[in-house]
Chains A and B, each alone.
Chain A
Amino acid sequence: MEIDVVQWSSAEQSQGREPKQNGKPHFYDKLIVESFEEAPLHVVVFTYMAYGIGTLFGYLRDFLRNWGIEKCNAAVERKEQKDFVPLYQDFENFYTRNLYMRIRDNWNRPICSAPGPLFDVMERVSDDYNWTFRFTGRIIKDVINMGSYNFLGLADKYDESMKTIKDVLEVYGTGVASTRHEMGTLDKHKELEDLVAKFLNVEAAMVFGMGFATNSMNIPALVGKGCLILSDELNHTSLVLGARLSGATIRVFKHNNTQSLEKLLRDAVIYGQPRTRRAWKKILILVEGTYSMEGSIVHLPQILALKKKYKAYLYIDEAHSIGAVGPTGRGVTEFFGLDPHEVDVLMGTFTKSFGASGGYIAGRKDLVDYLRVHSHSAVYATSMSPPIAEQIIRSLKFIMGLDGTTQGLQRVQQLAKNTRYFRQRLQEMGFIIYGNENASVVPLLLYMPGKVAAFARHMLQEKKIGVVVVGFPATPLAEARARFCVSASHTREMLDTVLEALDETGDLLRLKYSRHKKSARPELYDETSFELED
C-alpha cells in the first residue's frame, strides 16, 4: 500500500453538536492524503549489504581491541569484573561502538545562537575518528535551520514584544524553589492555566515544568493495575515510559491503523482480563497528534467513533501538533473540525510551537482537579519557572490574537503554506517523503548509512544548512531518514535555497528514489496572442 487516501466527511459525525465558542462549527469534507512509499528493491538490498559490511568490520575491530592490538576507547569492564556477566556485549553496545561512533560527528552539534530561522554552529573537528572532539574556535555563521522545532518562529532572540518577560523576571526571579503542592503555585501559573483552557476550548488545564515528565508522571496517576492501555506502535518514549510505570497491561496496535485498534478493542471487551476474565477497569487509547518520525497525523475521526462504540478513553499527545496544525493552530481536533470535549485527555508541550518548555494536560474540570491532587509531578517536581510561564502567556495571546494584532493567525497560515509548498516541491523532485501533506515535520528517506553521513556533512559544510538525520534505533534499521521541520519564519527565499541545495545533493548522492515522480516544472506557455486559423 503506497498512497493511502481516506475519504472522511465530518457532516455525519457532528450532527447534534452545539456550536463551538469560537464561531460556527466546521462542516467540511476532508481527504486525508498520506503516503508511505516503499523503497525500490535494490535500495533495500544495498542498505542491508552496507550494514553487513559495517558489522563485519565491527567484529574485526572488536577482535583487535580485545586482543590488545588496538587501543580501546570505548567503555570496558575493569580487570576484576572480567568474570562477571558481561556489560557491553549486547547488540546495542556493539552498534554504538562500531557503527554509530564512525558517524557521530553529525549529532550533538553545539550551537551558539538562538534557534531561529538562521543560527550559528560551532565548528568542531576530531583527530581520532570521532572518539574525541575539539573546537577549532571558529563559528559557522548563518546556517539555515531546518532542524529546530520552531514551528511558529517564537523561539528567537529578544525583541520588544518580550518586554513583559523582563518585567516578570524582575518581579518573580528565575526559580520557584518548590513543588506545586507546597509553595510553588504562583498566580502566573493560574493565569497560564486559564489561558490554556481558553485556547483549547476545554474546561480546565494544568501545566507542568517538563514535557517528558508530563507524560511519564501523569499516565501512572490515571491508570493502574487492572486497566488496559492500547498504544500506537510508534509512540514517543515518554508515553511508553508512563504506560510501563503505571503497571497496566499494554497492547500495541499498528501505526495509525484503525482496523488493528478495533480488533484489539473487541478482544479486550469480549475476553476481559487475561486469567480471571473480569472486565477491564479502564481502557485507555494512547495516540499522538502528529508523529514526528513519520510526519503522519492521527486518524482522529475514526478513533473517536471507535472510542464511543467500545466505551474507551482517549489520550492525545499533541506535542508536535498544538500551534502547528489546524486553521487557527488549536491542534488536531480543530484540524478535523471536531469538538475538543470529545477527547478525554488532551496533552501537549510548550517546547515546540511556543518557544518555552513544559507541558500541559487539559480536559474536564474533574479530571484536572484529580490530577492536581494525585499527579506525581505536582507532588515532587518543581513547578514551571515564572519567565517561562510568561513567555507561554505571551505566545498564547499572540496566537489567539488577544494582543490586538492578527500576526499570530498570519504565522499559523504562513506555516501551513510553507509546509504545503515544501512537501509538494520535494515530491516533485522525486524524493521519498513520508506522512500527511499538512504535517510540518517532513521525513526524507535516505536508507543507506553511508549516504546518511555524507548527506549531513555535505549539507552543513558545503551548503550551510543544518539538518537533523536520524538512524537506528530511533527508526527501523533500514529506514534512516533526514527530518526537516518547516517553520513559519522561513521566508520563501530560504525555502528555495534549501530546495535547490536538496536538489543538488539528491543528484550528487542519488537520493531520488521515488517512482511517482510528477513532471518537472512544466514549461509555461509564453504566447500572449492566439493565431486563429480561419
Chain B
Amino acid sequence: MDLRRVKEYFSWLYYQYQIISCCAVLEPWEQSMFNTILLTIIAMVVYTAYVFIPIHIRLAWEFFSKICGYHSTTAN
C-alpha cells in the first residue's frame, strides 16, 4: 500500500520533470538521449564531489589553521 503511494509519487515527480524540461514534447528516442546525458552528467558531478571535496576541505582547514596558528604564536 505504502509502496504504491511511493511509486505514484515518483511517477508524478517524473511527470513534473518531463513537462518542466520540455521532455514531454520530445520524441521517445530524444527523451532517452536527454535522460542518459543528464544522468551521466549528474553521476560525474556526484563522483567528483565524493572524491575531491573531503581532500579540498582538509587542505583548506590546514591552510587557514596554519595562518591563525602563526598569528597566535607571533602575538604571544
Contacts and interface: CB of A to CB of B under 8 A. Distances in A.
Chain A partners chain B: yes
Interface in A431-448: 448
A103 B16 CA distance: 18
A203 to B, nearest CB: 54
Interface residues of B, number: 13
B75 interface: no
A57 interface: yes
Interface range on chain A: under 10, 10 to 19, 20 to 34, or 35 or more? 10 to 19
Interface string A370-410: 00000000000000000000000000000000000000000
B27 A450 contact: no
Nearest first, the 5 closest Cβ-Cβ pairs linking A and B are A450-B19, A50-B22, A102-B25, A450-B24, A450-B22
A50 B26 CA distance: 11
Interface of B: 16, 18-27, 30, 34
Given A450-B19, A509-B19, A53 B34 contact: yes
B21 A50 contact: yes
Given A50-B22, A448-B19, A450-B19, 8 more contacts: A53-B23, A57-B34, A60-B30, A102-B25, A450-B18, A450-B20, A451-B19, A451-B20
Contacts, number: 42
Contacts of A49: 21
A454 B22 contact: no
A105 B22 CA distance: 16
A129 B27 contact: yes
Interface in A489-509: 509
Nearest to A453: B25
Nearest to B26: A57
A103 B40 CA distance: 28
A510 B34 CA distance: 23
A54 B19 CA distance: 12
A449 B21 contact: no
A310 interface: no
B20 A453 contact: no
B34 A450 contact: no
Nearest to B28: A129
Contacts of B21: 46, 49-50, 53, 450
A449 B27 CA distance: 15
A469 to B, nearest CB: 13
A54 B24 contact: no
Interface string A43-83: 00010011101100100100000000000000000000000
